[in-house]
């Protein structure tokens, strides 16, 4: 068998995951060269972007060598052959302590096994190159971290990436890797996707197993990918699907591959734009982004999500109390080692009266029933992802409808009512100038095929696109 010709190690522009996989699988490129170029880009740009907290260079080089050897031997290396990827540092990575953005967790013993989603991506031929910065213990919408420094937005390094999957947003938007994994409890994939101009997928609650990741709120945690195209989201999502008994919330459903369905278009789908609550406090850029997406999809109807404000409040209560409970042992023994902003929220959360938590869970069941009724009349709901474009680093307040509000608690006002009941969402970036902003494409449970088809249609029409950072 002939050895594949070595590829140019540094292409003019970093390739998408799908292009890399094609090039490596066909022998036009070598995984070793792709990984070497990736590691060089990380070394050059990460000091500024601060997306990576750990670079697993030796592991990546070894994996790339193995992928190249498999292809040289005529074997199939998988649908993500040679694709470099990185994961938020709450994912277990063999040999690393799972720091989850904290000071305390970096004292844990190194993980003895990768998280299930890392294993599945590598089984598909992808190559892990490292772990990514995040807001402490995922209780964050900014991407800032007092222990590891803030993730910086590649579109304007004086601005936030958004969080808590801040490094995931920065790494992909900054072209360090074409694919990253994040987590989303109340918006932590969708917010950095919005601020960094990326496509992000928050699947249905219970679709992708969380086995081998550090939790935040068991009732609300989701895991999912960020990328610069819907195709890359779909490829990674398909590779990661499947039941795992290690996650008590993971639902045993048949795998439903979506990549082959991406080109099915949007014909026959019924669209509506979320009104009312989802228009309150929205900045001009967000309104423009929603309008462009609605126009492209010919979405003329408006739909009102019942009691969205109460749903957001209930998600807030569940988050605060489960988070406070999870961290209580550490708050008792090492409160000084927390980010003060996280610590004081967690302490307060632990003190919320129990009847409010019980009521929040009852409201969750009620709200889910109401939303499923809505999805009898509509297939896709369009809503803004964030109330503003990426704020400046260190910003503490956010102006909503002329009123200054605490920024950290309010960035997720549009994402929380949706993740509260685990609906699948594709965040799509609208490339406004000077900064992008995201829109949520929302469907009924288990209809990731629909949200990704819509994202693909919007990408093909040019309405949604990941803009190249001006200073890249």
Partner 1 sequence: MPADDKDPLLTAIDAGAHMLGLTIDPAWIPTVRANLDVSLRLGKLVDDFQLPDEHEPASTFKA
- Residues 393-452 binding partner 1 (CB under 8 A) are 406, 409
From the list 278, 285, 459, the residue with the least C-alpha distance to 388 is 285
The closest of 237, 253, 219 to 421, measured between CA atoms, is 219
- Selecting among 29, 164, 168, 213, the annotated active-site residue is 164
* Residue 164 appears among annotated catalytic residues: yes
Select from 313, 374, 399, 432 the one that contacts partner 1 (CB under 8 A). Answer: 313
131, 219, 262, 451: which one binds partner 1 (CB under 8 A): 219
Determine if 314 is a binding residue for partner 1 (CB under 8 A). Answer: yes
Cα separations in angstroms, 394 against 44, 165, 242, 264: 25, 17, 40, 43
- 368 binds partner 1, rule: CB under 8 A: yes
Cβ neighbours of residue 239 closer than 8 Å, sequence gap 6 or more: 78, 79, 80, 120, 121, 123, 124, 126
In whole angstroms, the minimum distance from the beta carbon of 408 to partner 1 comes to 10
Q: Residue 424 CB, nearest distance to partner 1 (Å)?
A: 18
Which residues have a Cβ under 8 Å from the Cβ of 208 and sit 6 or more positions away? Answer: 117, 222, 223, 224, 237, 240, 241, 250
Instruction: Rank residues 364 and 453 by Cβ distance to partner 1 and give the closer one.
Output: 364
> How far is residue 20's CA from residue 73's CA, in Å, rounded to a whole number?
19
Q: Is 320 in the site for partner 1 (CB under 8 A)?
A: yes
- According to the binding rule CB under 8 A, does residue 87 interact with partner 1? no
Q: Taking the complex as a whole, how short is the minimal distance between the CB of residue 88 and partner 1, in angstroms?
A: 24
Q: Which of 416, 454, 466 is nearest to 226 (CA)?
A: 466
To partner 1, the closest distance from the beta carbon of 351 in angstroms equals 4
Please report how close the Cβ of residue 218 comes to partner 1 at its closest, in angstroms.
Answer: 10
CA atoms within 13 A on the CB side of 158: 1
Q: Is 347 in the site for partner 1 (CB under 8 A)?
A: yes
Q: At closest approach, how far in Å is the CB of 285 from partner 1?
A: 26
Alpha carbons 67 and 32: distance in angstroms, whole number = 8
List of residues 6+ apart from 143 with CB closer than 8 A:
133, 134, 135, 150, 151, 160, 161, 162, 163, 164, 165, 166, 167, 169, 170, 192, 195
88 is catalytic: yes
Among 36, 61, 269, 328, binds partner 1 (CB under 8 A): 328
By beta-carbon proximity to partner 1, the closer residue of 6 and 353 is 353
**Catalytic residue flag (residue 188):** yes
- Taking CB under 8 A as the binding criterion, the range among 166-174, 272-280, 307-315, 457-465 that sits at the site for partner 1 is 307-315
C-alpha to C-alpha distance for 188 and 141, rounded to whole angstroms? 6
Length of the chain: 472
Choose which of 216, 316, 414, 457 interacts with partner 1 (CB under 8 A).
Answer: 316
Nearer to partner 1, 121 or 360 (CB): 360
Shortest reach from residue 251's CB to partner 1, in Å: 13
Q: Which stretch binds partner 1 (CB under 8 A): 32-40, 67-75, 174-182, 349-357?
A: 349-357
Contact in structure between 202 and 448 (CB atoms under 8 Å): no
Of 378, 380, 321, the C-alpha closest to 351 is 321
**Using the rule CB under 8 A, which residue among 8, 109, 365, 376 binds partner 1?**
365
* Residue from 451, 427, 108 nearest 289 by CA: 427
Binding footprint of partner 1, residue count (CB under 8 A):
40
What distances in angstroms separate CA 134 from CA 98, 103, 279, 348, one per listed residue? 12, 12, 29, 22
Q: Does 349 bind partner 1 (CB under 8 A)?
A: yes
Among 355, 376, 403, 433, which residue interacts with partner 1 (rule: CB under 8 A)? 355
- Read off the tokens for 188: 């932590």
Verify binding: residue 109, partner 1, rule CB under 8 A: no
| Contact in structure between 191 and 163 (CB atoms under 8 Å) | yes
Contact 120, 353 (CB under 8 A): no
Q: Is 339 exposed, middle or buried (0-12, 13-18, 19+ CB in 10 A)?
A: buried
Is residue 331 at the binding interface for partner 1, with CB under 8 A as the rule? yes
Q: Which of 61, 108, 302, 366 binds partner 1 (CB under 8 A)?
A: 366
Out of 2, 5, 74, 332, point to the residue binding partner 1 (CB under 8 A): 332
Q: Does 380 bind partner 1 (CB under 8 A)?
A: no
Residues 206, 221: Cα–Cα separation, whole Å? 9
Q: In the bound complex, what is the minimum distance in angstroms from residue 290's beta carbon to partner 1?
A: 25
Q: Is 326 in the site for partner 1 (CB under 8 A)?
A: no
* Residues 272 and 302 sit within 8 Å (Cβ to Cβ): yes
| Among 48, 287, 348, 470, interactor with partner 1 by CB under 8 A | 348
- Which residues are the active-site residues? 88, 164, 188
Positions in the binding site for partner 1 (CB under 8 A): 219, 307, 309-310, 312-314, 316-317, 320, 328, 331-332, 335, 340-341, 343-345, 347-353, 355-356, 358-366, 368, 406, 409
């Amino acid at each position: 068998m002939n050895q594949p010709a070595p590829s140019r190690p540094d292409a003019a522009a970093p390739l998408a995951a799908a292009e890399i996989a094609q090039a490596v699988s066909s022998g036009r490129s070598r995984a070793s060269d792709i990984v070497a170029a990736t590691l060089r880009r990380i070394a050059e740009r990460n000091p500024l972007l601060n997306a990576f907290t750990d670079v697993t260079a030796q592991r990546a080089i070894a994996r790339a060598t193995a992928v190249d050897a498999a292809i040289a031997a005529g074997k199939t290396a998988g649908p993500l052959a040679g694709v470099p990827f990185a994961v938020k540092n709450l994912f277990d990575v063999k040999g690393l302590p799972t720091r989850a953005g904290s000071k305390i967790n970096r004292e844990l013993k190194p993980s003895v096994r990768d998280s299930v989603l890392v294993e599945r991506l590598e089984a598909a031929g992808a190559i892990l190159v490292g772990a990514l910065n995040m807001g402490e213990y995922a209780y964050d919408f900014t991407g800032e971290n007092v222990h590891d420094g803030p993730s910086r937005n590649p579109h304007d390094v004086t601005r936030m990436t958004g969080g808590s999957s801040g490094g995931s947003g920065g790494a992909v938007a900054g072209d360090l890797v074409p694919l990253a994994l994040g987590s989303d409890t109340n918006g932590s994939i969708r917010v950095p996707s919005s601020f960094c101009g990326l496509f992000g997928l928050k699947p249905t609650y219970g679709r992708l197993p969380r086995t081998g990741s550090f939790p935040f709120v068991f009732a609300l945690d989701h895991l999912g990918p960020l990328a610069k195209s819907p195709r890359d989201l779909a490829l990674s999502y398909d590779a990661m699907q499947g039941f795992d008994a290690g996650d008590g919330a993971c639902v045993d459903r048949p795998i439903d591959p979506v990549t082959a369905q991406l080109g099915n278009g949007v014909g026959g789908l019924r669209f509506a734009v979320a009104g009312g609550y989802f228009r309150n406090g929205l900045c001009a850029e967000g309104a423009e982004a929603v309008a462009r997406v609605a126009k492209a999809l010919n979405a003329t109807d408006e739909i009102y999500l019942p009691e969205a404000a109460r749903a957001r409040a209930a998600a807030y209560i569940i988050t605060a109390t489960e988070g406070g409970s999870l961290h209580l042992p550490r708050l008792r023994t090492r409160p000084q080692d927390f980010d003060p902003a996280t610590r004081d929220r967690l302490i307060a959360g632990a003190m919320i009266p129990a009847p409010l938590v019980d009521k929040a869970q009852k409201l969750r069941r009620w709200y889910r029933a109401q939303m499923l009724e809505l999805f009898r009349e509509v297939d896709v709901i369009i809503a803004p992802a964030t109330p503003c474009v990426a704020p400046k680093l260190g910003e503490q307040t956010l102006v909503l409808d002329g009123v200054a509000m605490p920024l950290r608690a309010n960035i997720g006002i549009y994402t929380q009512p949706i993740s509260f009941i685990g609906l699948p969402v594709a965040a799509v970036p609208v490339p406004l100038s000077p900064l992008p902003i995201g829109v949520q494409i929302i469907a009924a449970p288990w209809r990731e095929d629909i949200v990704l088809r819509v994202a693909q249609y919007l990408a093909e029409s040019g309405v949604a696109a990941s803009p190249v950072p001006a200073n890249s």
